[in-house]
Structure 1
Amino acid sequence: MVQPCWDNSNKRVEFPDIPGRTVSMVGPGHLTNGGRATYIENAYELLDQPGEWYLDRTAHRVYYLPRKGENLARADVEAAQAEKLIDGRGTATAPVHDLAFRGLQFSYATWLTPSGPEGFSEIQAGYTITGEKGWATQGLCQYVEGGTCPFASWTKMPGNVSFTHGQRIAFSDDVFAHLGASGLDLGTGSKDSTVGGSVFTDISGNGLEIGGVDGQTPASGVRVTDNHLYGLPREFHGGVAILNGWTQSTTIAHNQIDHVGYSAVSLGWGGWPDKIGDPATPNPSHDNTVRDNLIFDYMQMLDDGGGIYTQGLTGTSLADGEKVTGNVIHDQWGLGKNVYTDNGCTYETVEGNVLYNASYANVASRHTDYRDTLGNNDPTLVKDNWWEEGTADGDNKGLVTTGNKIMAAPSDVPSQIIGNAGLEPAHRGLLNRRVGADSTPEAPSRVGTSTAGVDALYVTFNPSFVDGGSPVTGYTARAYDASGRQVGEQAVGAAQFKRTAVVRIGGLPASAGPLTVTVTANNAHGTSAPSLASLPLTPTAVTALPGVPTGPKLRTASTAATVAWTPPTATGDAKVVGYRVTVSDGRAPIDVTGRDVLVGQPSAKGMFRVIGGLRPATSYTVTIATVTAAGTGPAATVTATTKA
Structure 2
Amino acid sequence: MFLRPEDAGTVTSPTLIEAAPNEQPVLSGGVTLTGWRKDGSNRLGLPAAAQGQVWVADVPMVGGRALAFRQLWVNGRKAVRARTPNDDNLPRLLTWDVDKQEAWITATAVGTLRQAGQLEMVLHQMWAVNVLRVKTLTVQGAKVRVTFHEPESKVQFEHPWPRPIINGKNGSSAFYLTNAVELLDQPGEWHYDGQRGQVLYWPRPGETMSSAHVVAPVLETLVQVSGSLDQPVAYVQFKGLTFAYTTWLRPSEQGHVPLQAGMYLLDGYSLQQPGTPDKAGLENQAWIGRPPAGVELAGVHHTRFERCQFLHMASAALDYQSSTHNDAVVGCTFRDVAGNGIQLGKFSDEGTETHLPYNPKDEREICTNELLENNLLTDCANEDWGCVGIAAGFVRNTTIRHNEVSQVPYTGISVGWGWTKTANCMRDNRVTANYIHHYAQHTYDVAGIYTLSAQPGTTITENRVEEIGQAPYVHDPDHWFYLYLDEGSAGITVQDNWCPAEKFLANANGPGNVWKNNGPMVANAIKQAAGLEPAYRDLLAEQIKKPAANGAQVKQ
Same fold at TM > 0.5: yes
Q: Partner residue of 1:631?
A: none
Letter in 1 for 2:291: M
- Quote the Cα distance in structure 1 between the aligned partners of 2:316 and 2:466: 25
State the Cα distance separating 1:418 from its structure 2 match.
2.3
CA separation of 1:368/1:43 partners in 2, compared to 1, >3 Å: closer, same or farther?
closer
CA separation of 1:39/1:421 partners in 2, compared to 1, >3 Å: closer, same or farther?
closer
Q: 1:81 aligns with which of 218, 232, 237?
A: 218
State the Cα distance separating 1:339 from its structure 2 match.
1.0
Q: Partner residue of 2:337?
A: 203
**Residue 8 (1) aligns with residue 155 (2):** yes
State the Cα distance separating 1:6 from its structure 2 match.
1.2
State the Cα distance separating 1:256 from its structure 2 match.
1.0
Q: 1:125 aligns with which of 252, 261, 264?
A: 261
Q: 2:227 aligns with which of 70, 90, 113?
A: 90
Unaligned runs of 5+ in 1: 13-21, 145-149, 272-278, 316-320, 370-377, 389-406, 408-412, 438-644
Q: Partner residue of 1:267?
A: 415
- Quote the Cα distance in structure 2 between the aligned partners of 1:330 and 1:175: 25
Q: 2:463 aligns with which of 323, 327, 330?
A: 327
TM norm structure 1: 0.54
Deviations, residues 195-217 of structure 1 (Å, cap 9, x unaligned): 00010110001000110122462
Deviations, residues 471-508 of structure 1 (Å, cap 9, x unaligned): xxxxxxxxxxxxxxxxxxxxxxxxxxxxxxxxxxxxxx
State the Cα distance separating 1:419 from its structure 2 match.
2.8
Query: Which runs of structure 1 show a deviation greater than 6 angstroms over 4 or more consecutive aligned residues?
Result: 33-37
Letter in 1 for 2:394: W
1:314 counterpart SS class: strand
Deviations, residues 226-277 of structure 1 (Å, cap 9, x unaligned): 0111112110010000000011110000111122111000011122xxxxxx
Q: Does the 8 Å contact 2:421/2:509 carry over to 1?
A: no
Q: Does the 8 Å contact 1:187/1:209 carry over to 2?
A: yes
- Quote the Cα distance in structure 1 between the aligned partners of 2:450 and 2:183: 39
Unaligned runs of 5+ in 2: 1-147, 279-283, 349-357, 471-478, 547-556
Q: Partner residue of 2:428?
A: 287
State the Cα distance separating 1:31 from its structure 2 match.
7.7
Q: Partner residue of 1:303?
A: 444
2:322 counterpart SS class: coil
2:156 counterpart SS class: helix
**Residue 379 (1) aligns with residue 488 (2):** no
Q: Does the 8 Å contact 1:141/1:151 carry over to 2?
A: no
**Residue 256 (1) aligns with residue 404 (2):** yes
**Residue 179 (1) aligns with residue 313 (2):** yes
Q: Does the 8 Å contact 1:232/1:241 carry over to 2?
A: yes
State the Cα distance separating 1:304 from its structure 2 match.
0.7
1:417 counterpart SS class: helix
Aligned alpha-carbon RMSD (Å): 2.7
CA separation of 1:82/1:243 partners in 2, compared to 1, >3 Å: closer, same or farther?
same
Q: Does the 8 Å contact 1:86/1:162 carry over to 2?
A: yes
State the Cα distance separating 1:51 from its structure 2 match.
1.7
- Quote the Cα distance in structure 1 between the aligned partners of 2:509 and 2:430: 24
- Quote the Cα distance in structure 1 between the aligned partners of 2:176 and 2:507: 38
- Quote the Cα distance in structure 2 between the aligned partners of 1:251 and 1:160: 22
2:425 counterpart SS class: coil
- Quote the Cα distance in structure 2 between the aligned partners of 1:31 and 1:328: 32
State the Cα distance separating 1:136 from its structure 2 match.
7.9
Q: Does the 8 Å contact 1:153/1:213 carry over to 2?
A: no
Q: 1:64 aligns with which of 179, 197, 201?
A: 201
Letter in 2 for 1:312: S
Letter in 1 for 2:525: Q
- Quote the Cα distance in structure 1 between the aligned partners of 2:387 and 2:189: 24
Q: 1:418 aligns with which of 527, 530, 543?
A: 527
Letter in 1 for 2:402: H
Q: Does the 8 Å contact 1:124/1:238 carry over to 2?
A: yes
Q: Partner residue of 1:27?
A: 162
1:337 counterpart SS class: strand
- Quote the Cα distance in structure 2 between the aligned partners of 1:267 and 1:323: 11
1:92 counterpart SS class: coil
State the Cα distance separating 1:35 from its structure 2 match.
11
1:45 counterpart SS class: helix
- Quote the Cα distance in structure 1 between the aligned partners of 2:498 and 2:488: 24
**Residue 213 (1) aligns with residue 322 (2):** no
- Quote the Cα distance in structure 2 between the aligned partners of 1:181 and 1:112: 10
- Quote the Cα distance in structure 2 between the aligned partners of 1:32 and 1:205: 27
Q: 1:110 aligns with which of 241, 247, 252?
A: 247
State the Cα distance separating 1:44 from its structure 2 match.
2.1
Q: Which has the larger radius of gyration?
A: 1
Letter in 1 for 2:155: N
- Quote the Cα distance in structure 1 between the aligned partners of 2:310 and 2:409: 18
- Quote the Cα distance in structure 2 between the aligned partners of 1:193 and 1:349: 25
Q: Does the 8 Å contact 2:269/2:286 carry over to 1?
A: no
Q: Partner residue of 1:428?
A: 537
Q: Does the 8 Å contact 2:339/2:388 carry over to 1?
A: yes
- Quote the Cα distance in structure 1 between the aligned partners of 2:275 and 2:392: 22
1:40 counterpart SS class: strand
- Quote the Cα distance in structure 1 between the aligned partners of 2:214 and 2:394: 39
State the Cα distance separating 1:326 from its structure 2 match.
1.0
Q: Sequence identity of aligned pairs in percent?
A: 32
Q: Partner residue of 2:302?
A: 168
Q: Does the 8 Å contact 1:177/1:201 carry over to 2?
A: yes
- Quote the Cα distance in structure 1 between the aligned partners of 2:239 and 2:377: 17
- Quote the Cα distance in structure 2 between the aligned partners of 1:11 and 1:151: 10
State the Cα distance separating 1:142 from its structure 2 match.
4.4
State the Cα distance separating 1:333 from its structure 2 match.
2.5
State the Cα distance separating 1:283 from its structure 2 match.
2.1
TM norm structure 2: 0.62
Q: 2:482 aligns with which of 305, 317, 338?
A: 338
Q: Partner residue of 2:128?
A: none
1:154 counterpart SS class: strand
CA separation of 1:298/1:71 partners in 2, compared to 1, >3 Å: closer, same or farther?
same
1:322 counterpart SS class: strand
Q: Partner residue of 1:614?
A: none
- Quote the Cα distance in structure 2 between the aligned partners of 1:11 and 1:366: 25
State the Cα distance separating 1:436 from its structure 2 match.
6.3
Letter in 2 for 1:102: K
Letter in 2 for 1:197: G
**Residue 313 (1) aligns with residue 454 (2):** yes
Letter in 1 for 2:444: D
Letter in 2 for 1:329: V
State the Cα distance separating 1:86 from its structure 2 match.
0.6
- Quote the Cα distance in structure 2 between the aligned partners of 1:41 and 1:226: 36
- Quote the Cα distance in structure 2 between the aligned partners of 1:3 and 1:37: 22
**Residue 347 (1) aligns with residue 495 (2):** no
CA separation of 1:143/1:45 partners in 2, compared to 1, >3 Å: closer, same or farther?
farther
- Quote the Cα distance in structure 2 between the aligned partners of 1:46 and 1:367: 44
- Quote the Cα distance in structure 2 between the aligned partners of 1:209 and 1:415: 31
State the Cα distance separating 1:362 from its structure 2 match.
2.9
Letter in 2 for 1:8: V
Deviations, residues 569-628 of structure 1 (Å, cap 9, x unaligned): xxxxxxxxxxxxxxxxxxxxxxxxxxxxxxxxxxxxxxxxxxxxxxxxxxxxxxxxxxxx
